[in-house]
Amino acid sequence: MNLKVKIKDFEFENPLMNAAGVNCYTIDELEEIRNSKAASFVTKTCTLNTRQGNLEPRYYENELGSINSMGLPNLGIDYYLNYLESLDGTYFLSVTEMNTENIHKILEKINESSFNGLVELNLSCPNIEGKPQIAYDFKTTDKLLADIFKYFKKDLGVKLPPYFDLAHFDIMANILNKYPIRFVNSINSIGNAIIIDENDTVVIKPKNGFGGLGGEYIKPTALANVNAFYRRLNKDIKIIGTGGVNTGRDVYEHILCGAYMVQIGTRLQKEKSKVFERILNELKEIMKEKNYNSLDEFRGKLKTL
Ligand SMILES: CC(C)(C)CCc1c(C(=O)O)[nH]c(=O)[nH]c1=O
């Protein structure tokens, strides 16, 4: 049985990796994933300089998922770049910045480095005050990508927040199809949710308790975003599926919707890196039952009525 995945000229043993932000802040955490059954990892989204992030509590989980407003705590691009440059194998470096000018600065730094993996540009980054995050500002996204591909020569994909309107899928896909993007990772957490505890109080401190939702709560939205982009993007832009993966069945559904790699966030936070072996075994069981020997045999084969 062959679980291999290819994105551009990069080949992975299987589709599983962590989602940015979970268990990927320090080299120790990244080594734990690298030494697990995961086929790759992505770093915590990093910025030009280290960041403390928001006041705690800034992460909370329950049986249905998680909510977070971490505020982008990270050890800075040099920390992750130096580590990645020392590794063989193919890994993902997640980056963003607080404005487009600094996004170019961090990407130019990567461009000049000997990093040979894939960059995951997190487009959930804030924009200028009063405007929505970049990925919800289509004109800014288009201009940013046009400017990036004037100089950026390495392999880059984008991490997107969920969209909820079919017209937004059309508009975003038309933009993305214009550029040599290697992958689209859908979805980031569903923004600005609230969870309330038994004391009539929100569960996280930043932003009056408003935070990004992850886990089982978001799987239907994640699957729809994966399939919407799978239907609309050029075939050489691969889809990475993220959101609501707790079992091998969830991985199977993401791949049915068109995903190549599948990222695990909230469940990894709960179960730690042994989760990759469990979910890989569950996926193999499903493929055996259905007599599939490779992911290509069922990727994108979601049936409609
Ligand atoms: C939302 C940002 C802080 C701009 C980016 C980092 C990020 C965070 C975070 O660091 O708060 N949490 C998420 O669920 N997704 C993200 O992309």
**Residue 206 placed within a domain:** no
Q: Which pLDDT does position 223 carry in this prediction?
A: 99
Q: Which pLDDT does position 128 carry in this prediction?
A: 82
- 192 CA distance to ligand 1 middle (Å): 11
- 51 CA distance to ligand 1 middle (Å): 12
Q: Which pLDDT does position 126 carry in this prediction?
A: 83
Q: Hey, which residues are catalytic here? A: 125
Mutational pocket test of ligand 1: of 55, 60, 69, the residue with most ligand atoms within 8 Å of the beta carbon = 69
- For residue 257, what are the domain limits? 5-54+73-192+217-297
Q: Is 199 in contact with 62 (CB distance < 8 Å)?
A: no
Two structure tokens written together for 124:
């959930």
- Say if residue 245's pLDDT is above 90: yes
**Residue 68 placed within a domain:** no
Q: Which pLDDT does position 215 carry in this prediction?
A: 98
In ligand 1, the atom with minimum distance to the C-alpha of 73 is 10
Beta bridge pairs of residue 120 = 94, 157
Please, is 264 exposed, middle or buried when counting C-beta atoms within 10 Å of its C-beta (0-12, 13-18, 19+)?
buried
Comparing 45-49, 122-126, 210-214, which segment has the lowest mean pLDDT? 122-126
- Mean local confidence (pLDDT), 268-281: 98
Distance of alpha carbon 49 from alpha carbon 70, whole angstroms:
16
- Say if residue 127's pLDDT is above 90: no
- 286 CA distance to ligand 1 middle (Å): 33
- Looking at the whole model, is its pTM more than 0.90? yes
Q: Which pLDDT does position 129 carry in this prediction?
A: 85
**Residue 209 placed within a domain:** no
- Mean local confidence (pLDDT), 38-43: 98
Element counts in the chain: helices (H) and strands (E): 9, 13
Q: What is the mean pLDDT of the chain?
A: 98
**Residue 211 placed within a domain:** no
**Residue 292 placed within a domain:** yes
Domain tally, the chain: 1
Kindly give the pairing relationship between strand 92-95 and strand 118-122: parallel
Mutational pocket test of ligand 1: of 45, 123, 204, the residue with most ligand atoms within 8 Å of the beta carbon = 45
In ligand 1, the atom with minimum distance to the C-alpha of 133 is 4
User: What CATH number has the domain bearing residue 18?
Assistant: 3.20.20.70
- Mean local confidence (pLDDT), 34-54: 98
Return all residues near 71 (Cβ < 8 A) that are at least 6 apart.
51, 52, 53, 54, 58, 206
- Mean local confidence (pLDDT), 236-257: 98
The string of pLDDT tens digits covering residues 110-121 is 999 999 999 999
The residue whose CA has the least distance to atom 10 of ligand 1 is 72
- 54 CA distance to ligand 1 middle (Å): 11
What percent of the chain shows pLDDT beyond 70? 100
Q: Residues enclosing ligand 1, CB less than 6 A?
A: 21, 45, 68-72, 96, 122, 124-126, 188-189, 212
Q: Which pLDDT does position 270 carry in this prediction?
A: 97
Mutational pocket test of ligand 1: of 42, 68, 268, the residue with most ligand atoms within 8 Å of the beta carbon = 68
Q: Which pLDDT does position 66 carry in this prediction?
A: 98
**Residue 265 placed within a domain:** yes
